[in-house]
Amino acid sequence: MDFRETDEIGLLREAVAGIAGKYGHSYYVQQSRAKEPTTALWDELSAGGFMGVNLPEAFGGGGGGMTELAVVCEEVAAVGCPMLLMLVSPAICGSIIAKFGTTEQQQRWLPGLSAGRKMVFAITEPDAGSNSHSISTTATRHGGGYRINGQKYYISGVDEADAVLVVTRTGIDERTGRGQMSLFVVDTDAPGLTKETIDMQILEPEKQFTVYFDNVEVGPDRLLGVEGEGLRPLFAGLNPERILTAAIVNGIARYALDKAADYARERNVWGVPIGAHQGLAHPLAKAKVDVELARLMTARACWEYDNDLDAAESSNMAKLAATDASLAALDQAIQIHGGNGMTTDYGLATLWGMTRLLRIAPVSREMILNFVSQHSLGLPRSY
Amino acid sequence: MNVIVCVKQIPDPALPGALDPATNTLKRDGKLILDESDSYGVEMALQLVDAAGGGEVSLVSMAPNGEVSGMRTALAMGAARGVLVSDPALQGSDALTTAKVLAAAVRRLGGADLVIAATESSDGYTGTVPEQMAELLGLPSVTFAKKVAVEGTSVKVQRQTEEGYDEVTCTLPALLSVTAGVVEPRYPSFKGIMAAKSKPIDEVKAADLGISPVGWAGAGQQIASVTQAEARAAGEIIEDDGEGFTKIVAYLENLKVI
Ligand SMILES: Cc1cc2nc3c(=O)[nH]c(=O)nc-3n(C[C@H](O)[C@H](O)[C@H](O)COP(=O)(O)OP(=O)(O)OC[C@H]3O[C@@H](n4cnc5c(N)ncnc54)[C@H](O)[C@@H]3O)c2cc1C
Ligand SMILES: Cc1cc2nc3c(=O)[nH]c(=O)nc-3n(C[C@H](O)[C@H](O)[C@H](O)COP(=O)(O)OP(=O)(O)OC[C@H]3O[C@@H](n4cnc5c(N)ncnc54)[C@H](O)[C@@H]3O)c2cc1C
């Protein structure tokens, strides 16, 4: 077992940290305040080929895996610029199309994704969040293709994307009563597709949308995989989604720990640096331990995924461990900064909403614990 | 057009440095990185080759323990190959020996239209290696280059001076030492990073280059002793009660700077 990172990963970290470092957290705050996407940073990373590191070389990607994508995502977050759409566009949509798209579909979408064009992902509905089986957006056969009707919400970045990968129901399984799912790629400017922004209490450069599908027509070439068997391609996107969530919050955690340690070494209230008070030092040290453990599990999940092993358990565990560790690290970093912790300038409270969000989305803490209870511990299914 | 760039691999300046008490030289046993000073030379070389419409950028480096991390960074940026001279016998080499070694490495690559080094390294900063190399290679050398353009068989250089800059034209082949900030070093692309792994680095010993004596034996100087630099006295802190500026003005007047 060799835990050292390769030279390539080292260079990758340096390059991405270098590029993202030119922008930094103040850029993230400025764009978020202006409700503008972090386009300049995204484009510069795309130009270096970093947004498509995990996609096949044959379609303009980097030919790497989740390991490389997670490193990119972590390094960008570690300068205080977490990028939610990385987990959606190259990770979920890119992985699904790379694994389940026909050659034509791959030709059509992967070169764009590799170059940093965005595709977003829509599964959540007002009556189907954690329980995806109960989605009610339908796709019905019409002419040679399909007609999509329904409503999705909390869909990130629809305004920035060329297309949206939509999870629909094309039938009901008679035996289980569950929906038979089908996945479609729909252009964001398709007639019948409308969107409304949702006002969020998160300082983020992306916007969230409710998306309405009103008789949106798509051709049969928009169906990913087999009609009614959408669960298989859907699952291909789930582990990448969890791994990338972990990568984002691992980056935020590193950012917070660095700031906290710097501050605790310098700030002097009673004649010694406040880092000398164990009441402050120990929670930070504990956070550091938990963050490193989470990063280790994230690396393992990447490795399993990239080696075509079953990465479900490790991806879920990494996601949960990383979000909890990151929140604890950020919380302690804010505490160490006293009143300064709550200012915009010190750049910590500004990340609270994003970090807190990732305990809920894209899959909640409870749903992961359900998974671990059932699959890792063999406990009865609880829902 | 072919360019050779000298790339020094140095201990990370962000980490605290240490001297080896036995030899009084810098400890270099950890991982070494590309000296930032040389990233400008690499970028400049890549741009010149690009502008010329063809050719290659090669690297020469002398470093302990077969270290190639810093060279890989330059290869990821776009250089094509490199020669690394790594040899325990080189331990203790002074700047002239370093210049001899690097000059021989340049010859091993078959020379080039242009050899580029930095004005001075970030860790040793004697600022003497490039000019010694030029002499050994019989090349004209231009120092403090802040802007460089190749025109036909000559190179036009803006040479930084205290007042402004000189315009120097010099025939190729030549050796330039460039200043920091001449160009903005690129970040390697992902493709560049992945390609760097398979680019050739020719690792040789001093004897392969026919150079001896080297190391302590070859050094024309010896480090007799090392003493701690004098600690600077603590500064004076002036609390600004609205009249702070008068104290600052008085202080500066006292120094006779205003
Ligand atoms: C900012 C933001 C961005 C998002 N981006 C996207 C996107 O781009 N695309 C997309 O499709 N979706 C997106 N989502 C939706 C997100 O994936 C869901 O919010 C998330 O999956 C939780 O679903 P829900 O909100 O419906 O919560 P619910 O399913 O209503 O759950 C409510 C609470 O009950 C708990 N719970 C539910 N079932 C169980 C159970 N069996 N056992 C224990 N506890 C349970 C949950 O953990 C949660 O705490 C986004 C959400 C947000 C807030
Ligand atoms: C007696 C003596 C013994 C020494 N012993 C040792 C020792 O044991 N170990 C040790 O590490 N140092 C030792 N040094 C220091 C060492 O000689 C210098 O660091 C080295 O010769 C280069 O000098 P510099 O960094 O000052 O080069 P500068 O002249 O400041 O460098 C200018 C430029 O030349 C190029 N260049 C310089 N060195 C290299 C290189 N090695 N590879 C590629 N390009 C280069 C770079 O472009 C650099 O920016 C010793 C010095 C003396 C005087």
CATH number, domain containing residue B98:
3.40.50.620
Alpha helices in B197-243 (DSSP H): 215-218
pLDDT score at B231? 83
For an interface test with B, give the residue of A7, A53, A54 to mutate (most B CBs within 10 A). Answer: A7
Q: Where in chain A is the domain with CATH 2.40.110.10?
A: 120-228
Closest to B189 (Cβ–Cβ): which among A7, A18, A49? A49
Closest by alpha carbon to B65, among B9, B4, B6? B9
- The CATH superfamily of A7-118 is Acyl-CoA dehydrogenase/oxidase, N-terminal domain (1.10.540.10)
Q: A22-31, B39-48, B229-238 — which is least confidently predicted?
A: B229-238
**Is B200 within a domain?**
yes
Mean pLDDT of B63-78: 96
**Is B81 within a domain?**
yes
Q: Is A134 in the pocket of ligand 1 (CB under 6 A)?
A: no
**Is B235 within a domain?**
no
- pLDDT for B215 beyond 90: no
pLDDT score at B239? 82
Low-confidence ranges of chain A (pLDDT < 70): none
A 10 A CB-CB count for A31 gives 21
Q: Where in chain A is the domain with CATH 1.10.540.10?
A: 7-118
Q: What is the pLDDT of residues B110-120, one digit of tens each?
A: 999 999 999 99
B187 Cβ under 8 Å from any chain A Cβ: yes
Domain that holds residue B84: 3-221
**Is B241 within a domain?**
no
**What is d(CA B55, CA B27) in angstroms, rounded to the nearest whole number?**
37
pLDDT score at A152? 98
- Fold of the A232-376 domain: Butyryl-CoA Dehydrogenase, subunit A; domain 3 (1.20.140)
pLDDT score at B27? 83
| Top-tier CATH class for A120-228 | mainly beta
Q: A298-302, A324-328, B149-153, B248-252 — which is least confidently predicted?
A: B248-252
- Whose CA is closest to atom 2 on ligand 1? A154
Nearest-Cα residue of chain A relative to residue B31: A7
Per this entry, what is the length of chain B?
Answer: 258
pLDDT interval class at B233 (50, 70, 90): confident
Instruction: State the complex-level ipTM.
Output: 0.93
At CA B88, angle to CA B87 and CA B91, rounded to 5? 105
**Is B157 within a domain?**
yes
Q: How would DSSP label each residue in B110-143?
A: T--SEEEEESS-SSS----HHHHHHHHHT--EEE
Q: What is the pLDDT of residues A197-215, one digit of tens each?
A: 999 999 999 999 999 999 9
Q: List all residues of chain A from 114 to 143 with a beta carbon under 8 Å from chain B.
A: none
Mean per-residue pLDDT of chain B:
93
- pLDDT for B23 beyond 90: no
How many folded domains does chain B comprise? 1
pLDDT interval class at B212 (50, 70, 90): confident
Cis amide leading into B13 (omega within 30): no
Q: A337-341, B35-39, B132-136, B241-245 — which is least confidently predicted?
A: B241-245
CB A245 within 8 A of CB A358: yes
A-chain CB neighbours of B194 within 8 Å are 8, 62-64
Q: Strand locations in chain A, DSSP E?
A: 119-122, 138-142, 145-156, 163-172, 179-187, 193-198, 208-218, 223-224
CB A76 within 8 A of CB A83: yes
**Tokens, residue A30:** 């400025």
Buried b (16+ CB within 10 A) or exposed e, B123-137: bbeeeebbbbbbebb
B25 phi, psi to nearest 5 deg: -110, 165
pLDDT score at B258? 83
**Is B89 within a domain?**
yes
pLDDT score at B29? 80
Question: Parallel, antiparallel, or unpaired: how do β-strands A193-198 and B19-20 relate?
Answer: unpaired
B66 Cβ under 8 Å from any chain A Cβ: no
**Is B94 within a domain?**
yes
pLDDT score at B67? 95
**Is B250 within a domain?**
no
Q: List all residues of chain A from 39 to 78 with a beta carbon under 8 Å from chain B.
A: 47-50, 53, 62-64, 68
pLDDT score at A216? 98
- Å between B242 CA and nearest CA of chain A: 25
**What is d(CA A249, CA A256) in angstroms, rounded to the nearest whole number?**
10
Q: Is A362 in the pocket of ligand 1 (CB under 6 A)?
A: yes
Taking the model in full, what pTM does it have?
0.92
A220 phi, psi to nearest 5 deg: -65, -20
pLDDT score at A273? 97
**What is d(CA B164, CA B146) in angstroms, rounded to the nearest whole number?**
11
pLDDT score at B158? 96
